[in-house]
A and B are shown apart, each in its own frame.
Chain A
Amino acid sequence: MAKKTNDGYLSAKEARRISRENRKITNAYEKNRKRKNVPESEYLTQMRDWNNSVEFDDLHTYFFTDAGTVKAVDGVSYDVPIGKTVGVVGESGCGKSVTSLSLMQLLQRPQGQVVSGEIRLNMGNGKAYDVTKAPNEVLQKLRGNYVSMIFQEPMTALNPVFRIGDQINEVIELHDGEGKTEAEIKARTIELLEMVGIANSEGVYKMYPHELSGGMRQRVVIAMALACNPRIIIADEPTTALDVTIQAQILDLLRNLKDKINSSIMFITHDLGVIAEMADYVVVMYAGRIVEKGTADDIFHHPAHPYTIGLMASKPVVGKKIDKLYSIPGKVPNPINMPDYCYFKDRCEKQCARCSGEYPGTIKLSDTHEVSCYLYYDGKEDA
C-alpha cells in the first residue's frame, strides 16, 4: 500500500532483507541452545557476593523483529539479596518484564534472545549457575524450584478448562514430584491453598477458574508460584488488575509468605505507592536501561534522576493538594531507533550541553545509591 510519508515505514524489500538477516542471527543462537549433554562447567559461574540470590550483570536482551532490532534490555545490572524485596519501576515498554522473563528464560523465541551478559543464580550449595547459558533440561529444574513467577493477569494466567487443583498438582508433579504419591501431592496443594488464605480449600480444589473472583484467582496464581518453595519469586504486576481493597490483602499476603519461606521477591510494578510499601531496594528503568537504583529510602527521599523525580511528581497523592500535576513532556523514544545520547534527554528539563554526548555512565551518590545522569558528574569519579 502506498504511504503518504516515507518516514516510519519500510519498503517490502527492506523488510525482507532485515528478516533474512535476523533469521541468520537467531538460528545461530537456537543451534547453540539445542545442543545435547552440555557439561556443567559451561554454565557454572561464581557469584560476586554470596549473599545475593540473583545477580544481573550487564544483561542485553534483544528482539530481532522484521522492523528492526529492539533493544528491550540494554545493559542492566542489579542484585537481588537473599530475603529482600527489590522493586523494579518503570513505564510500559521500559524492559522491566523482559528482564524477569530473561531470568526465567521464557522469552518469546526465536525473536527474543539474550545476546550478552550474565544472570547468576545462587543455588544455595556453594554453586551458582548462569541461566543464560544453561540448557533446557537444567532450566526445567530451576523453574519452580529456584525461580518462579506470579503473572500479571490472574484472569489469563489460569487455564479455563482445568480445575484449580489439577493446575497446582501439575506444577508439583513437574518440578518436585519425584517419589510423591498422588495423595501427597493433593495434600500439598490443599496446604498451599490454605497458606494463601483460601478458606474453602477443598471446595476450591475442585473449582474451575471462572468460579473464582479476581482476588481469589490471584491467590491461586500465588499458590502455584510458591508450590516448590522457590528461592526467588518474580511478581510481575501482581496487583495491577485488582481493586485497592483486594490489593491490600494480596500485598499483606506476599509480605507474610516471604518471611515464612525466606525467599527474595523481585517486585515489578508501575505503582510507586506499592513499591514504597513492599520494596527494600528500588530499581528505576527507562527505555531498557537502569537510570537510578538504591534503597527505598534513597529513591523516595532523595530521588536524583530527573525521570524519577518526574515520575513521582506526576502521580497525585492523597492528602496533598496541588493545582496542576507535573507531566513529563513528550514520550518514550522509538525502541528501534534509539538516540546515541541519553535516552531521556529529549524529555528532560535539566539537560545541559554534555547531555548530547554519549549515554552517561553510572555515578555513585552513596554506597547504595547509583544514578546515570550528567547532572551528578561534577566532583564525583566515574563508578
Chain B
Amino acid sequence: MANAKEKSSLVITNEYTPVEYDPQYILMVNALKKYFPIKDGLIAHTVGYVKAVDGVTFNLKRGTTMGLVGESGCGKTTCGRTILRLSGEKTGGQVLFNGQEVYDLTAKEMRALRPKMQIIFQDPFSSLSPRLPVGEIIGEAVREHNLVPAKEFDDYIDDIMDKCGLQPFHKDRYPHEFSGGQRQRICIARALALNPEFVVCDEPVSALDVSIQAQIINLLKELQEQFKLTYLFISHDLSVVEHISDSVGVMYLGDLVEYGSTDDIFSNPLHPYTEALFSAIPIPDPDAKMKRIVLEGSIPSPANPPSGCKFHTRCARCTERCKVETPCQHEVEPGHYVVCHLYDEE
C-alpha cells in the first residue's frame, strides 16, 4: 500500500487539449512540461522530479519579440532550451514551430530545422571556444549545413560580421582578444549566420556594462527589422525587457503566471507576483517615491513546490483556497492572461 502511494508522486500527468496550428504564429507552446528526475540510492532510481517547466502555454507571432522574466531558478532558461529541443526529451505538452511538432521530428529532419531556430547564450566569456578563430566560430555551422557555395563562403561571413559590427580582419583573431561587448557580437553573428527565423536570446546583455548593453540592444533591434526575426528574449532585467519586447510572460516556479502585451503587463499588472516584481525595480530618480511591495523569503524549491497556487507562500493576498486549489488560466482582457484565483469568475 505504502509502495503504491510512493509511486503516485512519480506519476506524470500529461493532459492537455491539443492546439490547432494558426499560421500567424511562428511558435505555439502548449502546456509544455520539462521535469528533471532526482536520482537516489544504489541503483539510482527516481525519487522525485524537479519541475523546471510545469505547463507553459503561449503563442508567438512572426516578427515580434516576447520577453520572459522571472527570478533565477524559475525555469526561464530551461523553457527556452526545451523549445529548441536542447535539453533532451520534453516531459509533456506541445511545441509547434511553423505548425510542426518539434519533438516528433527524426534526427535528420531536426538537423534540417536547426538553422531556422538559434540561440544566443548568456555568458559571452564561456560560450565561445577559445581554440577557434572568430571566422571559424561564425562559419562552422554555415559550412556544416551547406548554406552557401564554397566560393561565396568568405564573402558571406564578411557580410554577416559587418552587419553585426565586426571588422573583416577580426576573422583571424581568437575570442580572448575581444572585449565582452565584441564577444557578444560574435555570438550574435554566429546565430544569425544560419539565417534563422527564430532566435532565443538567453540573457544576452546581463554580463555587459550599461553603455555596451545599449549597443547590443540596438543591434538586436536593427537585425530584427532587417531579417524579420522573431525573438524569445529571456532576461531578469525588467527595464530591458520592457524596451525590447512586444509581449511579456512572467514565470514563477515553472509556471507562466501572467502573459500579455508589454503595455498591458507594465501598465496593469494583475498577478500579485508581477506587481511585487515590478515594484522592486529601482528607478534612477532620487525623488521617486515608490510603494514597494517587498516579497518575504525566497523562491521555494522546484523539487517540492507548495501545494495549490505555488506563489501562496509569499503572496500578500493569499486566501485559504489558494493553499489547496491550483488556479487555472483566465483571459482577463483580450490577450492578457493570468493564473490566479483573484480573477476567478463567480
A interface vs B, CB < 8 Å? 4, 91-92, 213-216, 243-249, 251-252, 270-277, 279, 296-297, 300-301, 310-312, 314-319, 322, 324-328, 331
Which B residues lie within 8 Å of A328 (CB)? 211, 214
Q: Does B8 contact A (CB under 8 A)?
A: no
Q: Does B112 contact A (CB under 8 A)?
A: no
Tell me whether B284 and A325 are in contact (CB under 8 A). Answer: no
Which B residues lie within 8 Å of A213 (CB)? 298-299
Q: Least Cβ distance of A215 to chain B in Å?
A: 5
Q: Which of B50-58, B77-85, B215-223 interfaces with chain A?
A: B215-223
Of residues 310 through 344 on chain B, the ones whose CB sits less than 8 Å from some CB of chain A are: none
Tell me whether A314 and B211 are in contact (CB under 8 A). Answer: yes
Tell me whether A276 and B288 are in contact (CB under 8 A). Answer: yes
Which A residues lie within 8 Å of B243 (CB)? 316, 322, 325
Of residues 194 through 232 on chain B, the ones whose CB sits less than 8 Å from some CB of chain A are: 209-215, 217-218, 221
CA distance A49 to B210 in the complex (A): 35
Which A residues lie within 8 Å of B299 (CB)? 213
CA distance A216 to B294 in the complex (A): 15
Which B residues lie within 8 Å of A316 (CB)? 217, 239-240, 242-243
Tell me whether B238 and A325 are in contact (CB under 8 A). Answer: no
Tell me whether B209 and A243 are in contact (CB under 8 A). Answer: no
CA distance A251 to B218 in the complex (A): 31
Which A residues lie within 8 Å of B307 (CB)? none
CA distance A251 to B179 in the complex (A): 31
The answer to whether residues A244 and B236 also contact, given A274-B282, A314-B211 and a CB cut-off of 8 A, is yes
What is the chain B residue whose CB lies nearest that of A216?
A: B298
The answer to whether residues A277 and B282 also contact, given A4-B172, A245-B277, A318-B239 and a CB cut-off of 8 A, is yes
Q: Does B109 contact A (CB under 8 A)?
A: no
Which A residues lie within 8 Å of B294 (CB)? 245, 248-249, 252
Q: Least Cβ distance of A152 to chain B in Å?
A: 14
Question: When the two chains form the complex, which single residue of B72, B209, B221, B279 contacts A91, counting CB atoms closer than 8 Å?
Answer: B209
Tell me whether B266 and A300 are in contact (CB under 8 A). Answer: no
Tell me whether B276 and A245 are in contact (CB under 8 A). Answer: yes
Which A residues lie within 8 Å of B295 (CB)? 245, 248-249
Of residues 168 through 194 on chain B, the ones whose CB sits less than 8 Å from some CB of chain A are: 172, 179, 181
Tell me whether A300 and B284 are in contact (CB under 8 A). Answer: yes
The answer to whether residues A214 and B72 also contact, given A91-B211, A296-B286 and a CB cut-off of 8 A, is yes
Tell me whether B217 and A300 are in contact (CB under 8 A). Answer: no
Q: Does B39 contact A (CB under 8 A)?
A: no
Which A residues lie within 8 Å of B266 (CB)? 318-319
What is the chain B residue whose CB lies nearest that of A249?
A: B294
Q: Least Cβ distance of A353 to chain B in Å?
A: 25
Beyond A273-B282, A277-B282, 6 additional pairs, beta carbon < 8 A: A216-B298, A243-B72, A249-B295, A315-B214, A328-B211, A331-B181
Q: 5 shortest A-B CB distances, which residue pairs?
A: A273-B282, A314-B214, A316-B243, A327-B214, A248-B280
Question: When the two chains form the complex, which single residue of A4, A315, A325 contacts B218, counting CB atoms closer than 8 Å?
Answer: A325
Question: When the two chains form the complex, which single residue of B215, B218, B240, B292 contacts A248, counting CB atoms closer than 8 Å?
Answer: B292
Q: Can you give 24 contacting A-B residue pairs, CB < 8 Å?
A: A91-B210, A213-B299, A243-B72, A245-B295, A246-B298, A248-B279, A248-B280, A273-B239, A274-B282, A276-B286, A310-B211, A314-B210, A314-B211, A315-B239, A316-B217, A316-B239, A317-B239, A318-B242, A318-B266, A318-B283, A324-B218, A325-B214, A325-B218, A327-B211
Question: When the two chains form the complex, which single residue of A92, A276, A310 contacts B282, counting CB atoms closer than 8 Å?
Answer: A276
What is the chain B residue whose CB lies nearest that of A331?
A: B179
Q: Does B136 contact A (CB under 8 A)?
A: no
Q: Does B71 contact A (CB under 8 A)?
A: yes
Which A residues lie within 8 Å of B292 (CB)? 248, 252
What is the chain B residue whose CB lies nearest that of A212?
A: B298
Which B residues lie within 8 Å of A327 (CB)? 211, 214-215, 218
CA distance A213 to B295 in the complex (A): 15
CA distance A325 to B220 in the complex (A): 12
Which B residues lie within 8 Å of A251 (CB)? 282
CA distance A206 to B44 in the complex (A): 29
Q: Does B148 contact A (CB under 8 A)?
A: no
Q: Least Cβ distance of B109 to chain A in Å?
A: 39
Tell me whether A300 and B285 are in contact (CB under 8 A). Answer: yes
Q: Least Cβ distance of A303 to chain B in Å?
A: 11
What is the chain B residue whose CB lies nearest that of A296?
A: B286
Q: Does B110 contact A (CB under 8 A)?
A: no
CA distance A251 to B282 in the complex (A): 10
Tell me whether B238 and A244 are in contact (CB under 8 A). Answer: yes
Q: Least Cβ distance of A238 to chain B in Å?
A: 13
Q: Least Cβ distance of B292 to chain A in Å?
A: 6
Tell me whether A276 and B210 are in contact (CB under 8 A). Answer: no
Tell me whether B298 and A244 are in contact (CB under 8 A). Answer: no
Q: Does B278 contact A (CB under 8 A)?
A: yes
The answer to whether residues A92 and B214 also contact, given A214-B72, A243-B72, A245-B71 and a CB cut-off of 8 A, is no
Q: Does B281 contact A (CB under 8 A)?
A: yes
Of residues 38 through 64 on chain B, the ones whose CB sits less than 8 Å from some CB of chain A are: none
Which B residues lie within 8 Å of A301 (CB)? 286
CA distance A297 to B283 in the complex (A): 14
Which A residues lie within 8 Å of B217 (CB)? 316, 325
The answer to whether residues A215 and B298 also contact, given A244-B236, A316-B239, A319-B266 and a CB cut-off of 8 A, is yes
CA distance A252 to B294 in the complex (A): 9
Tell me whether A324 and B221 are in contact (CB under 8 A). Answer: yes
Tell me whether A297 and B286 are in contact (CB under 8 A). Answer: yes
Question: When the two chains form the complex, which single residue of B218, B221, B283 contacts A276, counting CB atoms closer than 8 Å?
Answer: B283
The answer to whether residues A311 and B236 also contact, given A276-B288, A277-B282, A325-B217 and a CB cut-off of 8 A, is no
What is the chain B residue whose CB lies nearest that of A324?
A: B218
Tell me whether B71 and A243 are in contact (CB under 8 A). Answer: yes
CA distance A41 to B282 in the complex (A): 46
Tell me whether B213 and A314 are in contact (CB under 8 A). Answer: yes
What is the chain B residue whose CB lies nearest that of A214?
A: B72
Q: Least Cβ distance of B302 to chain A in Å?
A: 13
**Residues 241-257 of chain B: 1 if any A CB is under 8 Å from the residue's CB, otherwise 0?**
01100000000000000
Which B residues lie within 8 Å of A319 (CB)? 242, 266
Which B residues lie within 8 Å of A325 (CB)? 214, 217-218, 243
What is the chain B residue whose CB lies nearest that of A328?
A: B211
CA distance A133 to B285 in the complex (A): 39
